Structures are given as structure tokens and as C-alpha cells.
Amino acid sequence: MHAVGVNEDVTLPFGIGSVPIFIDSDPMNFSSDFVIVGSGINALVCAALLAKKGHKVRVLERNDRPGGCIRTEELTQPGFLHDVLACWHPLFVTSPGYAGLRADLERHGLRYCNTDTPAAVVLPDGRHFVLHASREKNIAAMNAACAGDGDRYAAAMAEFGQTLALTLQLVGGRLVSWATARTVWNTLRRVGLKGLSEFSGYGLQSARAWLEQTFHSDVVRACLAPWPPHAGISTEAPGSGHMARLIAFTLETAGCPVVRGGGMNLVEAFARCIRAHGGGMETGADVTQVVVEQGTARAVQTADGRKYSASRGVICSVTPSQLYTRLLSSAPVPAAITRQAVQFRHGRADMQIHLALKQPVRWQAPELDRVAMAHLTPGLDGVSRAGNECDRGLLPAEGTIVVGQPAALDPSRVPAGKGMLWIQLQELPSVIKGDAAGEIAVPTSGQWTEYVRERYADRIVARICRHMPGLREQIIGRTALSPADLERVNINLVGGDPYGGACTPDQFLLWRPLRGTRGYTTPFRRLYHIGASTHPGPGLSGGSGYQLAGML
């Protein structure tokens, strides 16, 4: 089995069976309207939209290929195309950025694969619940699990739908804008001041409170409980109940799609689109400085001394610390902004495990074989306990396991007759203080070592094997990536945090990324900030890139 060692340079087999990346046909022309630093989903959306409007755009990526957290590689065995980090795109296919670019991306080869059973949960005793991409089927299944649960779910989702436009504007649009003001006014006219007040209070409810008040079935609660952590918030956090409802609505609406042939095909489609409209993209371009003259961003400079001028703006898709303490280290950044950037908190860390299998996945319960993403958890309390152990610096004894089955939707990712699993663990500390199960010896440094990573991966795979007969004998390749590995793969995954920073109330909505900045602007003219660290936060929606492109 192949595993990347944490104490060695993370030399993933990038480039094996991967897609071609397009570089500007005139690499010596260093003058553009907009220079974009980074090439994650927000940068790609922004670049494509600006290029379509006739602006000359250049995207600079420090790694060997663009895409940020969207990378597809043969990590385990030849012919097995694993999405290394991000894999599932329900937020993107429901985004305004996708709506505006869909025709272009499809013209350049983008295709999605989907299923009508996007999610499920499996409890330790084998009981399970499958969530469908159908409100009617979900209501019936919940009522079957416990009389009345489906009816209460229907009422909750109907209430959610009354203020859906406002919810989507707040979590995806520019907060300080006429569009938000109009949406608030239209919602007020429709539901009244009392209804708007109820929306505000209901929106602050935790997922635990909503699940315990709405559902009597523990397996239904367990199915919805693990979803707020996918947005970087815990089940006890204010607003997590509203996030759980939003994610359930999204799964019903869009399912859980994956890109045919791997996520890098989305990146390739973006690259082709940007290039078709006169834009350029360069990899291996490590930007080390934003050049600020008389309070205005004029250019960027790379580690090898190249300077790229930008006549209309520099756009940085990075974390606040990267922007204000690295890229602007030579600029007169206000002391308060520097202090806030240094104090910006990152959230829970992530770990990925990829398995190559001799045959397609087979669960004890056959109806799970076609599910896009299943969670293994003891339930609502189990999700809460694992998150609490993580927050205290412990390896969770029974962490929530996200079991993704991309090949069940897209068989082209594996050789004929084979299978794969994409496994994610979202409740891990960046610095380890101990093991809640008391089984893994943690180094006094608290760092992720190869030993810790592989032993924790063993614990996770053993739990999955209890629900997939014969799985252990089917594994022909395994690659595990610890939080430390992830940060080395992508500099913006600080401590292995895939959410661009903790999504707590003080770092969300109007206060994301920093209290002292507003929206996507910075203290300098023509310098803009996008990415997961900015509103609307994590996820593959491309929201900040779309909003900034609209502003510009």
C-alpha cells in the first residue's frame, strides 16, 4: 500500500494520468487588466467571468497545476483517479457562477454524474437511513422511521422555503448591497415584521436543538447531524440548525454530483474557457509580493523575480495571514489589520484516506451501494462527542467517518470491475494532545507523524470494514493524508483546516475575513481579497469569486 510520509517532502504522484493545463500562449507578456493570485474555485470563477467581459486576466498558481483543493491523481494504483481533496459539487451546481458559466464549461468538456440517493447514515449496530433527492420520498422514509417525523420535516422545510430567497442572499450574496436590501424588503412584505423576526431567531438555532425538537427517530437525527461540520461549524454552534436545513434542501435539489473523470476536468474546462477569452494561466508562479505604490496595488512579484503588472486590479485568493503578513509584508498595512490577520483563527483539521478496491463497493445493506456519501457515526451525540474531543486536541475515539463513493456515480474513475472509496475525517486537531481512545502513542511535540497518521487510518478502516463484508481483502491500495500533509499540498490549508478559517460568528458574515475590512476590499485601492476565508466562506460554490467579478 502506498502512503505519503509526513516527515518527507509530500511528493504526491501529480501528473500521472492527469489532465493537461493550458498556459498563456504569450508567457512573456506580463501586463494584464487583472492578476489573480491562486487558482481555487473562487479564483477560477472570477477569472472566467472577467475574461468573458473582455478583460485581460492572468491567473498565477504557485503549485504545479491549478485548482486549489480540486486535484485528481492516481494516488493508489494506476487507473484509479482519486479526487485528492474536494470531490462533491452540490454547492457549485446550484451557484450563480455555475449558472453564468455552465454553457462555456460544458462546451469545454465538463460533465457531471449524479445519483438520486445523495446521502445516508450508518449506525454502529448496522441501522441506516438513506436521504433521497426527493422531498416526498424523504417525508415517507422519515415517517416510516418514526410516525410524525416526516410530517414535522415537511413543515420545517416549508417554513424554510418561505424565506429561502433571503437565506440564499445572506449566505451567498454581497451582504452590504442593494440586492440584499431589496431581498430583505421583499421578505418583509411577504412575511411581515413578526415573520422576519422569527426568521432571525430561528436562524440562530443550533442543529442539536432543531434535530431534537423535530425528530424522534435517532437514525433520522443521525442522518442530518453530520452535515453542519461540512460547512465548518459544529452541531451546537449558533446557526448550525439553519445550515442543516439549507444542506438538506440543497441535497434534495441538486443531489451530490461529481465531475465525470475527476474534478480536474472542471479545472481543465475553466482553463480552456479563460484561454478562449484571451486570458492566461501559469503554474509554478509563486507570488511573494503585491507591489503597492501610493496606496494602490500595481503589480505582483514572484519568487523568481518576475513582475506582473495589473492595470485594473490584483485579486488574491489566499488566507488573511498570507495576504497581510506575506504578500503585503513590504506595504504600509494598518497595524489593526495586521493584528487581526495574525489573530485570525483556523478551524478543525481534515484528513483524507483513499482506497483502491478489487471490486465495486458492497455494503451489508445493498441500498447503500449507490449512495454518494454515507456517514458512519453513533448518532447526534456521537458527532457532538467527536467534535468536542477534537476541540480539546484529542484524536476522537469514534470520529464521524465520511465515506464517499465517487465510482458508484462515475465508473470511469476506476478500471473496469474495480472500486474506490474517498474517506474524509473532519474532526481532527492540528496539534495533537492525546488519543481519546488511549490506543495511539502521540509524540510530545503534538505533530502528525507517519505513525500517528497510519494508526489512525487503521482505526477508521477497521470501522468501515464492519459494514462492508470482505472489504479488507478487497483493498489493493491505500493513501492517507494527514492535516500536516494537506497543508504542504496547499498553503491555504493552514493546520489542515479545509474551511479557510473557523466559521464562528465572529469570523462569519460581515466579520469575514476580518472585523476591520469590508467585503472583498482591502486597505489598498485595486487590491481585492476572495477565497474560503472571505464571505460566504467554505465550500465549492465559487461565491466570493462570483460576487467580486460582479462588483468589478
In a domain, 18, yes or no: no
In a domain, 3, yes or no: no
pLDDT digits (tens, 9 = 90+) for 456-506: 999 999 999 999 999 999 999 999 999 999 999 999 999 999 999 988 888
Total domain count, the chain? 3
User: Rounded to whole angstroms, how far apart are CA atoms 552 and 537?
Assistant: 20
What integer pLDDT is reported at residue 29 of this predicted model?
58
Please check whether residue 477 is in contact with residue 419, taking contact to mean a CB–CB distance below 8 angstroms: no
237 lies in the same domain as 319: no
Please check whether residue 439 is in contact with residue 473, taking contact to mean a CB–CB distance below 8 angstroms: no
Please check whether residue 163 is in contact with residue 144, taking contact to mean a CB–CB distance below 8 angstroms: no
Helix (H, G, I), strand (E, B) or coil at 313: strand
What integer pLDDT is reported at residue 8 of this predicted model?
36
Instruction: Render the burial of 285-296: b for 16+ CB within 10 Å, e for the rest.
Output: bebebbbbeeee
pLDDT interval class at 21 (50, 70, 90): very low
Domain limits for position 88: 31-76+83-92+262-344+501-551
Longest dimension (CA), the chain: 68
326 lies in the same domain as 371: no
User: Rounded to whole angstroms, how far apart are CA atoms 294 and 316?
Assistant: 19
pLDDT interval class at 189 (50, 70, 90): confident
269 lies in the same domain as 375: no
In a domain, 206, yes or no: yes
Weakest-pLDDT range from 154-168, 209-223, 267-281, 314-328? 154-168
Average model confidence (pLDDT) for the chain? Answer: 91
331 lies in the same domain as 388: no
| Residue that finishes a domain, picked among 458, 489, 520 | 489
In a domain, 19, yes or no: no
240 lies in the same domain as 140: yes
A 10 A CB-CB count for 129 gives 23
The CATH code of the domain that includes 310 is: 3.50.50.60
What are the backbone dihedrals phi and psi of residue 521, each rounded to the nearest 5 degrees, phi first? -90, 165
Q: Kindly state the average pLDDT of the residues 157-167.
A: 86
Please check whether residue 351 is in contact with residue 424, taking contact to mean a CB–CB distance below 8 angstroms: yes
Helix (H, G, I), strand (E, B) or coil at 202: helix
User: Rounded to whole angstroms, how far apart are CA atoms 368 and 121?
Assistant: 9
Half-sphere exposure (Cβ direction) of 52: Cα atoms closer than 13 Å: 20
152 lies in the same domain as 282: no
318 lies in the same domain as 352: no
| Residue that finishes a domain, picked among 467, 489, 511 | 489
| Residue that finishes a domain, picked among 438, 467, 489 | 489
| 22 pLDDT more than 70 | no
Residues sharing a CB contact under 8 Å with residue 497, sequence separation 6 or more, in sequence order: 346, 347, 348, 349, 350, 430, 483
What integer pLDDT is reported at residue 421 of this predicted model?
98
159 lies in the same domain as 244: yes
What integer pLDDT is reported at residue 411 of this predicted model?
97
336 lies in the same domain as 350: no
Of residues 14 and 208, more confidently modeled? 208
| 95 pLDDT more than 60 | yes
| 24 pLDDT more than 80 | no
Candidates 432, 494, 263, 460; CA nearest to 353 is 460
In a domain, 103, yes or no: no
311 lies in the same domain as 376: no
In a domain, 14, yes or no: no
pLDDT digits (tens, 9 = 90+) for 453-469: 999 999 999 999 999 99
User: Rounded to whole angstroms, how far apart are CA atoms 128 and 140?
Assistant: 15
Of residues 390 and 203, more confidently modeled? 390
168 lies in the same domain as 65: no
Weakest-pLDDT range from 8-12, 340-344, 378-382? 8-12
Q: Kindly state the average pLDDT of the residues 198-218.
A: 90
Which pTM was predicted? 0.92
pLDDT digits (tens, 9 = 90+) for 291-340: 999 999 999 999 999 999 999 999 999 999 999 999 999 999 999 999 99
Candidates 489, 491, 483, 484; CA nearest to 303 is 491
What integer pLDDT is reported at residue 17 of this predicted model?
36
383 lies in the same domain as 464: yes
- Helix, strand, coil: what percent of the chain each, to 5? 40, 20, 40
